[in-house]
Amino acid sequence: MERNTNVVAIIGRANVGKSTLFNRLIQKRMAIVDDIPGVTRDRLYAQVEWAGKSFYLVDTGGFPNEDEPLFDLVGKQIDRAIEEASVIIFVVDGREGILPLDFRIAEILRRSNRRVIVAVNKIDEPMHEPLLYEAFALGFEDVIGVSAEHNRNIPDLLDKVVSYIDSEDSFQEDGKTIKISIVGRPNVGKSSIFNSLIGEERAIVSNLPGTTRDPIDTEITFEGKKYLLIDTAGLRKKSRLKDDIEFYSLLRAERAIDRSDVVLLVLDVTELVTDQDKRIAGIALEKGKGIVVAINKWDLLPEGQPKLGDNIIKDVKDQLYFINDAPIVTISALSKRNLFKIFNVCGEVYARWQTRISTSNLNNIIRDIISFQRLPSDGKGRFLNIFYVTQVGTAPPSFLFFVNDKNLVDKPFERKVINELVKVGDFKGVPIRVFWKNRRKLA
């Protein structure tokens, strides 16, 4: 069963404490908090877990008055947040009371047809509870008095939020379907690839609804294997704000990656690897997913220059060195060059993702490492000693090393060990988890 991927957006006018509430709910200090109205201009997001459920929490800029210079910019960003969200936390200032702009925001939220929870902030003590009553005039059923600064009634707010979040996805996992998320920057051709893959006369099993505001997931059979394609395209071109589109493409990518086994990272041959591509690849690696890189629009390269193609592939490998030599497929969604090779390559990565290496083979690896590598030391003559290793998990493959002192392990050595495991286990495109544990001395 997959983890749910709902989005909860914090909406409200400037300086009511939205960013303070955001930081309180995620238990980290991410949002910029300042007494100057309008400090938060872009959205921030983080994953929150509460009572066995998870959701993405999005912080937005303060809802502006029409006479403010950034009215159009911030207003469109907030519109996008409302569009993406399944639940809205509408924050008002209990000390100031309900202002005309709050009523205007309430009207917009009612038209959005989303679940709305009114969080009346700055209710720091029980004596402030009567300030709640005015907020009921906004017309929403759920009104909770909180103090983001003093952590008052925050659990009650979270309880209410997760009461509107489904704990299960809308499809049942059969254990035999390989789930592939198609991710990447806007305009690299994700939707064209998705449509081409499902548009052929293959055995289309069913169209399965994804999360609340996601595009349709499609399950198909290719050469006897079942695949679930999770499309992250579908951002409407309503917004021309580059940063806004990139923000939500990254959010959608992370939500899709959560639900997948293998991530298909799509690049554009005319632009190749950007910082956002690296961020998406890093998210996939952090979440322990298999990775395949697809370089789209390969047909745009001039003919008769094979070295140019080789140099492009080398550059991609160099830029994405941290994803363990992930397979690269050069494709064209337009001409369908190598398009259906994607299924086979993703299937191979999926198989490696679940591979288990015998303990005897692992310990042979350790002998080779010890023979040819200078082991880390504390600089005082005490060197790392590896006694044995065992694989403790798959999907992703995870290994536990028993050593004399785990504090002697440095990052370069750990990277070398991971590279050896990638070679021996043929774990190309598969994240590796390595853990170090001190072996207790025998009495």
**Residue 16 labelled as part of a binding site:** yes
Q: Could you tell me the sign of the dihedral formed by the alpha carbons of 211, 214, 215, 220, in that order?
A: negative
Q: Is 304 annotated as a binding residue?
A: no
User: In Å, how far from its chain's centre is CA 48?
Assistant: 12
Flag whether 18 is marked binding: yes
Q: 155 a known binding residue?
A: no
DSSP letters of 217-275? EEEEEETTEEEEEEE-----TT---HHHHHHHHHHHHHHHHHT-SEEEEEEETTT---H
With beta carbons less than 8 A apart as the criterion, state whether 287 and 349 touch.
Answer: no
Q: Residue 310 to residues 115, 258, 306, 314: CA-CA distances in angstroms? A: 52, 32, 6, 6
Q: Is 240 annotated as a binding residue?
A: no
The answer on whether 4 is annotated among ligand-binding residues is no
234 annotated as a binding-site residue? yes
The response to whether 189 counts as a known ligand-binding position is yes
Q: Is 58 annotated as a binding residue?
A: no
Q: Which residues contact 303 (CB under 8 A, 6 or more apart)?
A: none
What is the distance between the alpha carbons of residues 441 and 131, in angstroms, rounded to a whole number? 63
To the question of whether residue 311 is assigned a binding role by annotation, the answer is no
CA–CA separation, 78 vs 59, rounded Å? 9
Say whether 225 counts as a known binding-site residue: no
The verdict on whether residue 277 carries a ligand-binding annotation is: no
Any binding-site annotation on 270?
no
Residue 226 annotated as lining a ligand binding site: no
Query: φ, ψ for residue 9 (rounded to 5)?
Result: -110, 140
To the question of whether residue 38 is assigned a binding role by annotation, the answer is: no
**360 in a labelled binding site:** no
166 annotated among ligand-binding-site residues: no
324 annotated as ligand-binding? no
Q: Is 440 annotated as a binding residue?
A: no
185 is in an annotated binding site: yes
**Is 190 assigned a ligand-binding role in the annotation?**
yes
Q: Is 233 annotated as a binding residue?
A: yes
φ, ψ of residue 394 in degrees (nearest 5)? -125, 170
- Close Cβ partners of 312 (under 8 Å, ≥ 6 residues apart): 269, 272, 295, 301
Q: Binding site annotation covers 19?
A: yes
Q: Is 177 annotated as a binding residue?
A: no
Is position 175 annotated in a ligand binding site?
no
Is 281 labelled a binding residue? no
Classify burial at 236, counting beta carbons within 10 Å of its beta carbon; exposed 0-12, middle 13-18, buried 19 or more: exposed
Containing 129, the helix (H) or strand (E) segment is none
Residue 210 marked as a ligand binder: no
The three-class DSSP label of residue 371 is: helix
12 is in an annotated binding site: yes
Binding site listing for GTP = 12-19, 59-63, 121-124, 184-191, 231-235, 296-299
Binding site listing = 12-19, 59-63, 121-124, 184-191, 231-235, 296-299
